[in-house]
Amino acid sequence: MTDIVTETNNGAALSVRNLVKQYANADRRVLDDVSFDVPKGRVLVVVGPSGSGKSTLLRTIAGLEPIQGGQIALNGTVIETGKPGSEKAGRSARSSELRTHIGMVFQSYDLFPNKTVLGNIMMAPLLVQKRDKAEVEREALELLGKVGLADRKDAWPHELSGGQRQRIAICRALILHPEVLLFDEITAALDPEMVREVLDVVIGLARSGQTMVIVTHEMRFARAIADEIILLEDGHIVEHSTDPERFFIEPETERAQQFLRTFE
Ligand code: ADP
Ligand code: MG
């Protein structure tokens, strides 16, 4: 079974093959036969109307939801295989060690309110990865510097703006050194003046070679950052473009043209 992915992934960091997702007590598939590769160091942007399955796709890749068909592989190794009838399982059977290889930042990432900024960032590497405390603190401070928040290391989450909280959430994901980082509309809940500071951090990550899958409604950002772009609708890939510039100027499908017009 492993061969299905390793034969076809061409050295991709992340391979999704024929993914099927159905929620318990639902009569239709939310994701149906979704396949794509993300090469190491590249950025895949996923766009699509509300309800098309974007968040579900990221959640299955992150191992937060079991899948009912298909496979997910990381660097050619299958980490998840779909099992028909697994709808009711709380989350996938992936080990907690494997989980740390894929990071995810959500639309409203609630930091732990009873921990400082530093405490939030240091928690998973200390508890899950059992890393050395001094080393983890050093790295946390370095990451805070990179997102422009070194001076807020002792602040409490409630003292931060939404944009600052999202930048901390990104640090919290980065300190685990994920092979792939998933972003689900991370600026959607922010006031407009804070969107830029968060997107700039993501653009910096792309330049540094971080492999990412990004779901966003910010089309200008998508155009600027995407190496490849997927339009999802009703759980199907409607268009997959390896030329994002072209996708935004003259998409191939009528559906993509319609979708893009809603942003004009
Ligand atoms: P998007 O992120 O593109 O808006 P979602 O992945 O959130 O789409 O949702 C895709 C579909 O799956 C929608 O029809 C939604 O109602 C349904 N859905 C999402 N989460 C659940 C759930 N936990 N249980 C049942 N249905 C769900
Ligand atoms: Mg969503």
Backbone angles phi, psi at 191, to 5 degrees: -65, 145
Which of 91, 62, 26, 23 has the alpha carbon at shortest distance from 184?
Answer: 62
Structure tokens at 248: 């935004």
Which residue minimizes the CA distance to atom 7 of ligand 1?
A: 55
pLDDT in tens, 220-264: 999 999 999 999 999 999 999 999 999 999 999 999 999 999 998
Residues with C-beta less than 6 Å from any ligand 1 atom: 23, 26, 30, 48, 50-56
CA geometry: angle 64, 122, 102, nearest 5 deg = 30
52 DSSP 8-state letter: S
Return the CATH fold of 12-262.
Answer: Rossmann fold (3.40.50)
Asked whether the whole model's pTM tops 0.90, one would answer yes
| H/E run at residue 41 | none
What's the Cα-to-Cα distance from 226 to each of 163, 195, 214, 240, rounded to whole Å? 22, 17, 9, 12
From the CA of 48, which ligand is nearest? 1
Give the C-alpha separation, 43 to 229, whole Å.
9
Q: How far apart are the first and last CA of the chain?
A: 45
The pLDDT, as a whole number, for residue 3 is 45
User: pLDDT-based confidence at 5, cuts 50/70/90?
Assistant: low
Which residue minimizes the CA distance to atom 10 of ligand 1?
A: 53
Ligand 1 closest atom vs CA 235: 10
Backbone angles phi, psi at 245, to 5 degrees: -55, -45
Which of 19, 22, 56, 213 has most ligand 1 atoms within 8 Å of its beta carbon, as the pocket-test mutant?
56
Cβ contact 42:211 at 8 Å: yes
pLDDT in tens, 73-121: 999 999 999 998 888 887 777 888 888 899 999 998 679 999 999 999 9
Q: Which residues contact 26 (CB under 8 A, 6 or more apart)?
A: 87
Which residue minimizes the CA distance to atom 19 of ligand 1?
A: 56
Ligand 1 closest atom vs CA 65: 23
Which of 20, 22, 23, 45 has most ligand 1 atoms within 8 Å of its beta carbon, as the pocket-test mutant?
23
From the CA of 47, which ligand is nearest? 1
Which residue minimizes the CA distance to atom 13 of ligand 1?
A: 51
Cβ contact 52:232 at 8 Å: yes
Predicted complex ipTM exceeds 0.90: yes
What's the Cα-to-Cα distance from 219 to each of 9, 45, 100, rounded to whole Å? 28, 10, 29
Residues pairing with 240 in the sheet = 230
Which residue minimizes the CA distance to atom 5 of ligand 1?
A: 53
Q: Which residues contact 129 (CB under 8 A, 6 or more apart)?
A: 100, 176
